[in-house]
Amino acid sequence: MELLQILECSPPLAREPLDAEQAAGVARVFKALGDPVRLRILSIVASREGGEVCVCDITGAFELSQPTISHHLKVLKDVGLITSERRASWVYYRLVPETLGELSALLTAPATV
């Protein structure tokens, strides 16, 4: 089952416990976000005007090698947080808002009366 499907099927944590498959899928996302470099990359992509950013702009924001940045981008892409599109010799990244929305819904506590 794909991560977005797992998130869509997961009730908010405060309402009912996750099953083993749901917990494993959500844990993959949190593990990806648990790295400061990946969290920064995601924030760069999310905050970019126009909703997308060239890999050249991401690489320039870090004192890391291009292969290291590519690895972090692959991890974020593998868990469904970002997507990419190649245009000529550059790759552009954008957020997958549905994944972030479902992750947010999972973490949202119900309003207390």
Q: Which CATH number fits domain 3-11+19-107: 1.10.10.10, 2.40.30.10, 3.30.420.40, 3.40.640.10?
A: 1.10.10.10
Closest-CA residue to 45 (of 32, 55, 35): 55
Q: Where are the alpha helices (DSSP H) in the chain?
A: 3-9, 20-33, 36-47, 55-60, 66-78, 97-107
**86 alpha-carbon distance from chain centroid:** 19
What 8-state DSSP symbol labels residue 76? H
SS3 36: helix
pLDDT for residue 24: 86
Q: Where are the chain's structural domains?
A: 3-11+19-107
Long-range contacts, stretch 61-66, CB < 8 angstroms, 24+ apart: 62/37, 64/37
Owner of token pair 């990419």: 84
- The pLDDT, as a whole number, for residue 35 is 96
pLDDT tens across the length of the chain (113 residues) = 455 555 555 555 656 777 888 788 888 988 999 999 999 999 999 898 888 999 888 988 999 998 999 999 999 999 999 999 999 888 999 999 887 777 777 777 665 54
Give pLDDT, residue 18.
78
